[in-house]
Amino acid sequence: MLVSRGNHKLGTDTLILNITSAMDCMSRKLGLCALGTKCYAMKAERMYKTVLPYRRRQTEYWDKTSPWDIAGDLSAEIRRPTKQPIKYIRISEAGDFRGQEDVNKLIEIAEVLEIIQPTVKLYGYTARNDLAFGRCPSNLIMNGSGFMLHNSFTAVPKASLAQHKVTCAGNCRGCNLCKIRGKLAIKVGIH
């Protein structure tokens, strides 16, 4: 299974499962991503030579593995004994959904996990306002990049953050804004 456990922002209570790499991001290719050249995931793929090949292997795993097997693999990873139990699965830290098939597959994975790992939530971000997310189970939270799904998550200049009600602290450890269905208009400073 090609997942990682947390990073410097997410913490070790979160598994990361990418569908694509930032280099292969469909939102970027379609011109839907508001960040463009400031893409955080793209930066890592350029800086570290192992990141892009790893993320492309994650895409291969995603494409070749059934939703039930992915859910089973995630469940096995969640059950592994560690100091910090898994509470969240971050979907697509890099890249975005390539099409409705990816969304439908994720929904199937979430439906299975809702039964076998009912305390774990899946969450992610998407700029794909052209795809349908209406049948997401309650354990799957999708944040629209610049548009409202379960929340919206919009990048704004750091200098303007103070004028917004709900802002991203830039560190997910201890923050749950993007992990609940709150219809929150979350703003994050471009960095």
Please say if the pLDDT value at position 144 is more than 80.
Answer: yes
Residue type, 179: K
Please say if the pLDDT value at position 36 is more than 70.
Answer: no
pLDDT value at residue 127: 95
Share of residues in the chain with pLDDT > 90 (%): 69
Write down the mean pLDDT value for the chain.
92
CA distances from 182 to 91, 95, 117, 156 (A): 18, 24, 22, 20
Please say if the pLDDT value at position 74 is more than 80.
Answer: yes
Give the residue, 174 or 142, on which the prediction is more confident.
142
pLDDT value at residue 170: 83
Q: What is the mean pLDDT of residues 33-59?
A: 87
The length of the chain, given as a count of residues: 191
